[in-house]
Structure 1
Amino acid sequence: MSHGEEQLSWEPAPGQGAEVLYAVDGTLGRARLNRPRAINALDRASIDSLHQQLTAWAQDDRIDAVVLDGAGERGLCAGGDVRALREAVLAGRQEEAVDYWRAEYAVNALVASYPKPYVAWMDGIVMGGGVGVSAHGSLRLATERTRLAMPEVVIGFFPDVGGLHRLAQAPGETGTHVALTGEPVGGADALVLGMADALVPSHAHDRVLQLLRDRPGATAAQVAEAVGQPEATSSWLAENRAWIDRCYAGDDVAAIVQRLREDPDPAAQAAARTVGARSPFSVAVTLEALRRAASMSLEEVLAQDLRLGATFAGHPDFAEGVRAQLVDKDRTPRWTHGSVAEVPREEVLAAFDG
Structure 2
Amino acid sequence: MESRRAPAGKATNVVSRVYGPIGHIELDRPAKLNALTLQMLTELTRVLAAWAEDSSISLVLLTGRGERAFCAGGDIADFHRAITTGRHQEFIDLLAMEFDLDYLISSYPKPLISLAHGITMGGGVGLASHAPVRLATSSATMGMPEAKIGYTPDVGGTHLLANAPGHFGEYLAMSAASFTGADAVYLGFADVVVTDSFAENILDELDELVGLSAAEIISAVEVLHGAPESHALELSQGWVDHAFSADSPQEVLERLEQMVHPAARQAAQLLLANSPSSVSSAFYTVRQARAEQDLRSALERELRMARHLMHQPDLAEGIRAQVIDKDRNPRWSPALMSEVDHHGLRLLAEGPQA
Do structure 1's residue 19 and structure 2's residue 45 form an aligned pair? Answer: no
- Displacement of 1:221 in angstroms is 2.1
Aligned residue in 1 for 2:198: 204
| C-alpha contact (below 8 Å) 1:12/1:19 kept by paired residues | no
Aligned residue in 2 for 1:306: 303
Identity of aligned residues (%): 36
Q: Of residues 108, 120, 123 in structure 1, which corresponds to 2:114?
A: 120
Do structure 1's residue 89 and structure 2's residue 83 form an aligned pair? Answer: yes
Aligned residue in 2 for 1:222: 220
- Displacement of 1:11 in angstroms is 4.9
Q: Of residues 309, 315, 318 in structure 2, which corresponds to 1:318?
A: 315
Q: Of residues 27, 33, 39 in structure 2, which corresponds to 1:39?
A: 33
Once superposed, what is the RMSD of the aligned Cα atoms? Answer: 1.8
Number of equivalenced pairs: 346
- Displacement of 1:339 in angstroms is 2.0
**What amino acid is the match of 1:317?**
D
- Displacement of 1:146 in angstroms is 1.1
Q: Of residues 340, 345, 353 in structure 1, which corresponds to 2:342?
A: 345
Do structure 1's residue 270 and structure 2's residue 255 form an aligned pair? Answer: no
| C-alpha contact (below 8 Å) 1:43/1:81 kept by paired residues | yes
**What amino acid is the match of 1:266?**
P
CA–CA distance in structure 1, aligned partners of residues 5 and 72 of structure 2: 25
Structure 2 spans left out of the alignment, 5+ residues: none
Aligned residue in 1 for 2:327: 330
Structure 1 spans left out of the alignment, 5+ residues: none
Q: What's the TM-score, normalizing by structure 1? A: 0.93
**What amino acid is the match of 2:275?**
S
User: Following superposition of structure 1 onto structure 2, how do residues 1-354 of structure 1 map, counting pairs within 5 Å?
Assistant: 4=1, 11=7, 13=9, 17-206=11-200, 208-216=202-210, 217=212, 218-230=216-228, 233-296=229-292, 297-349=294-346, 351-352=348-349
- Displacement of 1:350 in angstroms is 5.4
In the TM superposition, structure 1's runs of 4+ consecutive aligned residues that sit over 6 Å from their partners are none
Aligned to 2:328, the other structure's residue is in SS state coil
- Displacement of 1:192 in angstroms is 1.3
Task: Return closer, same or farther for 1:235/1:337 CA change in 2, 3 Å cut-off.
Answer: farther
Q: What's the TM-score, normalizing by structure 2? A: 0.93
Moved more, 271-280 or 186-195: 186-195
| C-alpha contact (below 8 Å) 1:174/1:237 kept by paired residues | no
| C-alpha contact (below 8 Å) 2:4/2:20 kept by paired residues | no
